[in-house]
Structure 1
Amino acid sequence: MASLQDHVDDDQATTASSDWIKRILKKDYDIELTMPEDRLFPTPSRALYVRWIASLLNSTDPSWYENFDAESSAQPCPQREEIAGLDIGTGASAIYPLLALRLHPQWFMYATEIDATSLCYAHDNLVANQLEDRCKVLQRTPTQSFVPDADELGQRDLDFVMTNPPFFASVHEWQASLSGTGKERPPDSVCTGAQTEMVYEGEGEGGGGDYDFALRLYRESAQAENVRAQWYSVMFGKKASAHRFVAHLQMAQCFNFATFLLGAANRTRRWVVAWSWLEFRPESSISRTESAPPSLNPWPTDYSIPNQSTQSTRCVQGEVMRILSELPPPFEMKWNQTLGSGVCRTTEILWNRSYRRRAKLIAEGKVPPRSQQEISEAKKKPVGLGVEIAVEEERVLVRWRQGSQRVWFESFCGYVHEQLRPLMASGASSSERSTEANAARTGMTSEGETATSSSQHDHGSTIKAKSTTRSEDESIGQADDSTRKRRKIV
């Protein structure tokens, strides 16, 4: 089977005929497609959106800690199988459900559509591909919510929501785009879409178009009680709309988001923005787009500690295990020595100055240690920070897996970095390493209490300690329902 990327450039550079599209879909995905002449034909590149969603879900598995295998001898490739997704405005082709179900045999899809003609064709296309049992198509009206309620879906939880909304805010804007008004060159392709597929006038507040559509979905997601999804996503046809929407997420203090760019330079591009109200963080290679400006990307979730010494990975791994094992409950850790990686999580900060001072007083017998009841109560709190650590040949990589507060992640990375500095620093002698390591073990080093900014991140990003917002300083030890109630709806 040819890769999708083999067709992307041709798809976006030429006027794609319906026959050409049908042949590619049949050859690469075994999809039979029947379309009316006055509705939008899908492009095979839409599979990139589906594949990115799959990567996003695999990267944010809520069972990431429980599923970690400390005995495995092979690098795990996590794949979430039983996934339920929703495509808002599926169109006559139902292309996203078709691609999602062909690529992932264990997935189930829901699809909504307001246009009666498109709805009939969407159902027929699912039947023609023998996928009607794995996709439920629902007719909606413009005044109904984008996400159907639990009674209509038959379940309360979705793994993701995706949508390719109308890009234009008015018929006038749409017609101007078709004629090439205001553009340096005429359009590359012929648009066969109906008005319902091309124009979303919205409520006026957001100006209509894809931004207003995304804004409405965001507000539904923030207020959702009946049906909730882990990830909501929108494909934008305008770069300005994507930038504007990311700025809105940040202003509304929704910091767990991801971006994806579909399209090559100097060709038709699409920008996908996804956001989540849960605290499971995707890895930077999935959530950040290298070619996008910093304003469009979320915080990095990878922190790299370079090994500038000649120490072996076995030696570094032993030191990392020692550092982590010395953190008291409710800190939890699983470690795989064969792979040189592990996972950790905690409900409390156990590495800052106050905790280390208390540990010293306990060791001196000046204060009593925590009782088992106190430890048990601490473990019942929500996870405040979850990380994955991998010891590689030239670095130690710390990846943020769970938690809402960046300051916890930065603080932990700074602590581990400072503890490893005596061993991994460039040019340090054996005696210097021994002296500094002993000082670090007894808590005598003055650094490491807060995050450092000296370590480079993947993709050239750098974590910097910054003053946090009021939202970031709120206690992490609150239930998830309480967290949802604190959302700022803008």
Structure 2
Amino acid sequence: MKHSRNLHKDNYPLAQLVQSYPALQPHVLIKPDGGKTIDFANPNGVKALNAALLSHYYQVKFWDVPAGYLCPPVPGRADYVHYLADLLAKDNQGVVPKGNTIKGLDIGTGANVIYPIIATRSYGWQMVGTDIDPVSIKSGNTIIASNSVLTSHINVRQQLEPQHIFTAVVKPDEHFAFCMCNPPFHQSAEQAKAVSQRKIQNLIKNKSKRGSPVNTQRHSAALNFAGQSNELWCEGGERQFIQRMITESRDYANQIGWFSSLVSKKDNLIHIYKRLGELGISDVKTVEMAQGQKVSRFVAWRF
């Protein structure tokens, strides 16, 4: 079940989305049963759908990412934000705190700045996004500058020391209510490419079963839309990244309330809990989230 405050609990209202974002119309397909859908293996269609969702639900009238960069599904990203809001509510007499007195940090915000957009448009929070990639920073700044609803609420910073996570981007006098992160989950470029290829083959197979036309050229293009190397993989994968994040979080215990990270692979939890235990961190929460049949989770901790 999606979070109760997730605006995307139901199916996509394509007619309303097209009205909010007319550029989505060419990507709407008619299914054999007469219903309407989007070709989710077509990167341009997926990007148009995201832009339509952001326009319709969050009043973001310009949103785009450079070719080859991650185009994340908005509904699943919204769940992470809303469940983090629930954590903050537990320290606020059960009420989700809203407004610009709440400041959040998004580690690895990417070219899409999805998390800061959803957070500030849902709750009015101030958000800082960080990334090691200069193209992502430029893209994020373009999105922010192009939308008046974002300009006074979000800023992005380039992490110039890739070996660090908080160091060099968190200022000495700054305080954040929380940080969030969607870490690179593959251990190598080869592993990331293999997973992308499997996803495309599954999309082709499902379309064939439904009797829908298969455009192999579009499906091949989707492989190039799967994300940049720093978005998809790092040495040691997500396990090592999160363990490094936990270790470095000790130095920012007085500046960040809740630390958190998505954990894509359930098998990594035992190693994450072990590292938390080694540092004597006992206030740990694991929150599961479900999008259809896919179950994801994030781990949050504080000192």
Match of 2:80 in 1: 49
Tell me which of 258, 282, 299 is aligned to 2:285: 258
Match of 2:182 in 1: 164
* Residue correspondence of structure 1 range 263-302 to structure 2 within 5 A: 263-264=290-291, 266-267=293-294, 269-277=295-303
Q: Give the counterpart of 1:84 among 103, 118, 125.
A: 103
Correspondent of 1:137 among 148, 156, 160: 156
Report the CA distance between 1:14 and its aligned residue. 4.9
SS of 2:64's equivalent in the other structure is coil
- Taking the aligned partners of 1:56 and 1:243, their CA distance within structure 2 comes to 22
Which whole-Å CA distance do the structure 2 matches of 1:179 and 1:128 have between them? 34
What TM-score results when the alignment is normalised by the length of structure 2?
A: 0.73
The answer to whether 1:194 aligns with 2:228 is yes
- The residue identity in structure 2 corresponding to 1:233 is S
Q: Is the 8 A contact 2:88 2:96 kept in 1?
A: no
The 8 Å contact of residues 29 and 99 in structure 1, kept in 2 or not, is answered as yes
Q: Give the direction of change, closer, same or farther, for the CA distance of 1:159–1:7 in structure 2 (3 Å limit).
A: farther
Aligned letter for 1:21? N
| C-alpha distance in structure 1 between counterparts of 2:6 and 2:103, whole Å | 27
Aligned to 2:216: none
| Residue of structure 2 in register with 1:5 after alignment | 9
Q: Which is higher, the Rg of structure 1 or of structure 2?
A: 1
CA-to-partner distance for each residue in 1:370-422, whole Å, 9 max, x for gaps? Answer: xxxxxxxxxxxxxxxxxxxxxxxxxxxxxxxxxxxxxxxxxxxxxxxxxxxxx
Please report how far the alpha carbon of residue 89 of structure 1 lies from its aligned counterpart in structure 2 after TM superposition: 0.9
- Structure-1 separation of matches of 2:258 and 2:191: 31
Change (3 A) 1:78 1:103: closer
AA in 2 matched with 1:47: A
* Cα distance in 1, alignment partners of residues 229 and 48 from structure 2: 23
Between the aligned partners of 1:164 and 1:29, the Cα distance in structure 2 is 21
Q: 1:119 to 1:79 in 2, by over 3 A?
A: closer
Q: How many residues align?
A: 249
1:273-310 deviations in whole A, cap 9, x for unaligned? Answer: 11111xxxxxxxxxxxxxxxxxxxxxxxxxxxxxxxxx
| Structure (1/2) with the larger helix percentage | 2
Change (3 A) 1:127 1:179: same
111, 114, 137: which one aligns with 1:119? 137
C-alpha distance in 2, partners of 1:247/1:39?
Answer: 33
Alignment partner of 1:237 is 2:264: yes
* Aligned partner letter, 1:90: T
Structure 2 counterpart SS, 1:133: coil
Change (3 A) 1:229 1:117: same
Contact 2:246/2:275 (8 A) holds in 1: no
The 2-side partners of 1:59 and 1:211 are apart by: 28
1:215 corresponds to: 243
Residue correspondence of structure 1 range 371-390 to structure 2 within 5 A: none
Q: Is 1:179 paired with 2:197?
A: yes
Counterpart code for 1:38: G
Match of 1:147 in 2: 166
What secondary structure sits across from 1:6 in the alignment?
A: coil
- CA distance 1:142–1:240, change in 2 (3 Å): farther
Question: Aligned letter for 1:18?
Answer: K
CA displacement at 1:234 relative to structure 2 = 0.4
Aligned mates of 1:259, 1:47 — CA distance in 2: 17
- 1:17 counterpart residue number: 46
SS in 2 for 1:180: helix
Tell me, in whole angstroms, the C-alpha distance in 2 between the residues paired with 1:136 and 1:58: 24
Cα contact 2:128–2:157 (8 A) shared by 1: yes
User: 1:200 corresponds to which letter in structure 2?
Assistant: C
Measure, in 2, the Cα distance between the counterparts of 1:164 and 1:195: 14
Q: Deviations over 1:56-81 (max 9, x none)?
A: 111124xx5xxxxxxxxxxx745354
Alpha-carbon separation, structure 2, partners of 1:7 and 1:209: 33
Shift of 1:141: 2.8
Distance in 2 between the 1:89 and 1:137 partners? Answer: 10
SS at match of 1:263: strand
Structure 2: stretches of 5+ with no match in the other structure: 15-36, 207-218
Q: Which amino acid aligns with 1:266?
A: Q
- Decide whether aligned partners of structure 1 residues 210 and 55 sit closer, same or farther in structure 2, where only a CA change above 3 A counts: same
Distance 1:218 1:229 in 2: 12
Name the residue aligned to 1:103: 122
> Which secondary structure does the structure 1 equivalent of 2:10 belong to?
helix
Q: Secondary structure at the match of 2:286?
A: strand
Q: 2:56 aligns with which of 27, 33, 39?
A: 27
Return closer, same or farther for 1:142/1:212 CA change in 2, 3 Å cut-off. Answer: farther
- Which one-letter code corresponds to 1:6 in the other structure? D
Give the conservation status (yes or no) of the 8 Å contact 1:221–1:228.
Answer: no
Aligned to 2:70: 40
Of structures 1 and 2, the one scoring higher in RCO (CA 8 A, sep 6+) is 2
Distance in structure 1 (CA, Å) of the matches to 2:64 and 2:151: 15
Alignment of 1:442-461 (within 5 A): none
Identity of aligned residues (%): 26
Deviations 1:77-113, CA, capped at 9 Å, x for gaps:
45354211111111111111111111112x2111111
Distance change (3 Å), C-alpha of 1:101 and 1:246: same
Task: Determine the C-alpha separation between the residues in 2 that align with 1:154 and 1:253.
Answer: 24
1:236 offset after TM fit, Å? 1.8
